[in-house]
Structure 1
């Protein structure tokens, strides 16, 4: 991967207002000089996340994270620095001039080993399906559902026979240890600790992470018995957690930029849609959509279309999913409803790929879907049912702020119920605009709306520092914004007593030496994660302006801290020497302690 030129990085950072970028994910509100909102990295009710537009940095006073816009992207999207620069550049429509490919983080060797074992197991299962007599029934089932060999190969579909020891024997032959086999999720264990294959006589669908590595399996029975689940997933392991896995994400994410994500209920819908030429399909793990999965989707795309089964249970599931994502601050959400209660796979088999593609163009807005969903099962010839529907429908329409869209929805309800649109408009309830919910709270109840005339949000409590450390932090902040102060300290060979502050001072001098126009936001690109949070915290401190005498007072206070630390060091070692019976060392440290104590008292006037 080619290196992004420094001047391009500077251009991206200086062009993008950090508040505009973060505002996609966090509802920010002005308070004083800064903007505040709920922290996107944790669940909280009181805003502790702050953005400074003047300094182009953010800081959370609760979790401690801080940095510039690139650091935010790295933390929020879990990406490398070049990937973060690329995302911000895309936001600003700035060409980088180089290709930035996702970089994988190093993994623990045990994780790498587990993934390799699962990969080899999937290959064995695929071989059993397509190349052995024992897999003929399973292969016949799949081809009977009109899956081509190419599609079966693409998704690495496999088969395991009824034998409860085949997978165990296979992994034994690969040198897997007992602990590795237990950790794989491929086995169940009896009271004596013996392992038996978890999956038997099932069509096997490998489950992959966003990078395409196999992390688990889902097996579908060929002949369902009353005691058997239709689908059986791997249990939760170090690699697999169904709450944050989306089937086919590794393949589909490459198409999201053009088409957005298309969310299905099940694996076969995704696979059938893929064979029909729809490549952006993903599915949750046979359960309701989770907040974790929504977060994953929102980091990959800004557009999500829900396409669940057309029957009543499927529409109910779609309504639940919609409730989770409709107010998402980043996602544009739509819903496709299939006719005649069909699921996507059934629709494709009945009408063909071209018809399915056209059906996907008929997308309902969240309110449009809700108006149709609320009408299901109601007898509109009964006045009581009709009135109940009208009341619920008007509550939905009242959430729409655009007058044109409101008129469209009112006309739809009017056509369905026979109530004049103008009469419906007069009955629209007044709804206060809900406060946007931070990403950590998606799916949770929003905080109560503020009363008119309510005061400003309470400022987060400031951390406690003694007067000496406050002086260090203020002096360090001055070096970042006042070149004269930095030069004065550098020429005097000044050292901060606290190592972490001295390290930042030295790093700043090195950065400012080569930077054309040094800024704290630019400095943050040169420091590590922990230092980034510390720099942001220090730069968010508010101090009054100082003249030269005020700076001298700070330098003296910081120097006093150095004397105090040396004094305390001498006292500690004096006590240790006395405990060890080393009287000569104890006397030496005692003399140092008295000398430093006199210096400290003289300087402080005590």
Structure 2
């Protein structure tokens, strides 16, 4: 990977306001000098996540994370420093001049082995579908639904026969262990521990992670029976959890930059849309959209269009999905409503690929969709239903703050109900939502999907510092902002008693020498990421302004603290020596103790 020039890194960091970038995923509100919001790294109800625009730093006082904008991206998106710089640069449309290739974190060998196993199974299933006599009925089912061979190959669709021992025989022939077979999710186990194929006589759709690795399967039954589910997914395994998997994400994300994400209800809708020339389709795992999936989508694109079935159940599902995403701070959301209750596959079969491609461009806003949805099951010729609809519709319109959009929605309701738009407008003030307060912070975004990497750190207790360490922290923070203080400490060979603070001071001195305009945000780029929260915390602490005499007082306090720590250590050593009867060591330690007592008295008198 090519190295990004330092001047480009500095340009990106100084050009992008950290609050603007973090504001994509955290709803920030002004409180005092800083901005506050709910921490994106954990679930919380009281905002403890703070952003300082003046310092260009963030700090969470609950989980302990902190740093500059690049630290935020590295921790939130689980990427390397160059990848974080590239993401922030793309946000500001700043060319890097080099290519940054995404890297993958080291993976548990057992997971890698499982992915290799599932890849072999995928190839075997696809072979059974397209190259064997036993797969002909399943292949005919797919071709009758209009899928081409190229599309079947692209999605690696497969087939497993009714024989419930085929998979076991296949893996046994490849020296796959019993424990590996049990962990794969491909089998069910009886009371004696015997394994039988979980999937039988089904068309098989490989389920992949964001990198394109197979992590599970979904099988569709060919002949519907009352006792069997239409679709059967892999159970939860070390690789697969249906709550955080989106079908076709690995392929569709490449088209998100141009078209955003198009969310469908089912796999066949995604596949039919792809064949119709719409490559940005994704789908959840046959269940309602989850917060985890919304989090994944929001980190891949800023635009999401929901395109569920046009019938009543499909529109109800779309309304539930919309409730999850309509107020998401990072997503611009639209809804496609297909005519005549059709699903995407039916629409394509009836009107063709070109008509479908145009249809998905015709989107409703969340409020526009709700105004249509609320009409369902209401008879607007009946006064009671009409009044109920008007009340519900006005509550939706009251959420819109733009006057032009509000007028448009009022006209739609007026056209439906026959009530003049101006009369409807007069009802809005009485149902307008109350202004947001400092306690109304919305719903926190879901924790990020880490694709197998380390989870977010648990909340940490607020640290307590004695007066000596407080002096150390204040002096270190002063050295970041007053070059005279840093020079004074460096030239007098001052040493911070705490090794961490001394290391940070030494690092700051070296950084300040190499940069004509040193900043704490820039300094953080030179540090180990594990140290960034310490520096960020220092910057968020309130320290009084201090002159030369104040600096001298801090140095004296720190010196006293250092002597007191040494005295405490000598006391412990002296107690141990006395217990052991080591008189020579006791005498030496007593001399040292007396010397330290004199030093402490001298430091207190200065």
Shift in CA distance, 380/31, structure 1 to aligned 2, threshold 3 Å: closer
1:440 aligns with 2:444: yes
Match in the other structure for 2:211:
211
Which is worse superposed, 515-524 or 582-591? 582-591
In 2, are the aligned partners of 1:26 and 1:439 still within 8 Å (CA)? Answer: no
Q: Partner of 1:574 in structure 2?
A: 574
Name the TM-score, length of structure 2 as normaliser: 0.93
Is the CA contact (8 Å cut-off) linking 1:335 and 1:369 kept in structure 2? Answer: yes
Q: Which residue of the partner structure matches residue 411 of structure 1?
A: 411
Partner of 1:296: 296
Match of 1:256 in 2: 256
Aligned partner of residue 218 in structure 2, secondary structure: strand
Superposed displacement of residue 115, structure 1: 1.1
Q: Which residue number in structure 2 is paired with residue 498 of structure 1?
A: 498
Decide whether the 8 Å contact of 1:512 with 1:518 is kept in 2: yes
Q: State how far apart, in whole Å, the 2-side matches of 1:112 and 1:583 are.
A: 61
Between the aligned partners of 2:199 and 2:250, the Cα distance in structure 1 is 24
State the match for 1:344 in structure 2.
Answer: 344
1:423 lines up with 2:417 in the alignment: no
Deviation, structure 1 residue 77: 2.2
Would the aligned equivalents of 1:577 and 1:585 in 2 still touch at CA under 8 Å? yes
- Structure 1: give runs of 5+ residues left out of the alignment: 444-459
Distance 1:165 1:433, change over 3 A: farther
Please name the residue that 1:244 is paired with: 244
Cross-structure match for 1:2: 2
Residue 594 and residue 166 in structure 1: after superposition, are their counterparts in 2 closer, same or farther (change >3 A)? farther
- Match of 2:180? 180
2:333 alignment partner in structure 1: 333
Which residue pairs with 2:75 in the alignment? 75
C-alpha displacement of 1:173: 2.3
Cα deviation code 1:76-118 (max 9, x no counterpart) = 2222212221221122221111222322111121221111111
Q: What is the alpha-carbon distance in structure 2 between the residues aligned to residue 593 and residue 290 of structure 1?
A: 64
- The worse-fitting range, judged by mean Cα deviation, of 238-247 and 412-421 is 412-421
User: What CA distance in whole angstroms lies between the structure 1 residues aligned with 2:101 and 2:444?
Assistant: 28
Q: How does 1:393-542 map to 2 (within 5 A)?
A: 393-428=393-428, 429-434=431-436, 437=441, 440=444, 463-542=463-542
Matches of 1:238 and 1:462, distance apart in 2: 34
Aligned to 1:157: 157
- Secondary structure of the residue aligned to 1:212 is coil
Deviations 1:31-70 (A, max 9, x none): 3322222222222222211111221111111111110111
How far apart, CA to CA, are the structure 2 residues paired with 1:437 and 1:129? 52
On the 8 A contact 1:40/1:439 being kept in 2, the answer is no
The residue that corresponds to 1:230 in the other structure is 230
Can you list the C-alpha shifts for 1:311-361, whole angstroms capped at 9, x where unaligned?
A: 111000000000111111111100000111111111111111011011112
> Once structures 1 and 2 are overlaid, which stretch shifts more, 220-229 or 83-92?
83-92
In 1, Cα distance between the equivalents of 2:233 and 2:49? 39
Pick which of 368-377 and 30-39 moved more: 30-39
Task: Give the aligned partner of residue 91 of structure 1.
Answer: 91
Cα pair distance change 1:352/1:580, threshold 3 Å: farther
Shift of 1:580: 4.5
For 1:278-317, list aligned pairs within 5 A.
278-317=278-317
Helix, strand or coil for the counterpart of 1:552? Answer: helix
Aligned-pair distance for 1:156?
A: 1.1
TM-fit CA distance, 1:178: 2.0
Structure 1 position 119, deviation (Å): 1.0
List aligned pairs for 1:588-599, cutoff 5 A.
588-599=588-599
1-side partners of 2:275 and 2:583: how far apart? 86
Offset at residue 207 of structure 1 (A): 0.7
Query: Residue 446 of structure 1 corresponds to which residue in structure 2?
Result: none
- 1:559 matched to 2:559? The reply is yes
| Kept in 2: contact 1:64–1:533 (CA 8 A) | yes
Structure 2 unmatched runs, 5+: 448-459
Q: Is the 8 A contact 2:35 2:51 kept in 1?
A: yes
Q: CA offset at residue 600 of structure 1?
A: 2.5
Are the counterparts in 1 of residues 25 and 445 from structure 2 also a CA contact under 8 Å? no
Q: CA deviation at 1:581?
A: 4.9
Using the size of structure 1 for normalisation, the TM-score is: 0.93
Residue 439 to residue 392, structure 1, CA distance change in 2 (3 Å):
closer
Shift of residue 122 of structure 1? 0.9
Checking the alignment, whether the CA contact within 8 Å between 2:295 and 2:445 is kept in structure 1 is no
Any idea what SS the aligned residue of 1:375 has? coil
Partner of 1:220: 220
| Contact in 1 for aligned 2:336/2:363 (Cα 8 Å) | yes
Aligned partner of residue 204 in structure 2, secondary structure:
strand
CA distance 1:487–1:438, change in 2 (3 Å): farther
**For the residues of structure 1 that align with 2:264 and 2:172, how far apart are their CA atoms?**
37
CA contact (8 A) 2:26 2:40 kept: yes
Q: CA-atom RMSD, angstroms? A: 2.0
The answer to which of 575-584 and 35-44 deviates more is 575-584
Give the length in aligned residue pairs.
590
Aligned-pair CA distance for 1:583: 4.1
* Alignment correspondent of 2:381: 381
Alignment correspondent of 2:139 = 139
Tell me whether 1:101 sits opposite 2:105 in the alignment: no
Residue in structure 1 matched with residue 454 of structure 2 by the alignment: none
**Partners of 2:123 and 2:78 in 1: how far apart?**
30
Task: Give the whole-Å Cα distance in 1 for the aligned partners of 2:550 and 2:49.
Answer: 31
- What residue in structure 1 maps to residue 457 of structure 2? none
Q: CA deviation at 1:7?
A: 0.2
Q: Which has the higher contact order (CA 8 A, sep 6+)?
A: 2
> Following the alignment from structure 1 to structure 2, what is the Cα–Cα distance between the partners of residues 385 and 91?
47
Rounded to whole Å, the distance in 2 between the matches of 1:237 and 1:214 is: 12
Q: Secondary structure of 1:559's match?
A: helix
Change (3 A) 1:194 1:579: farther
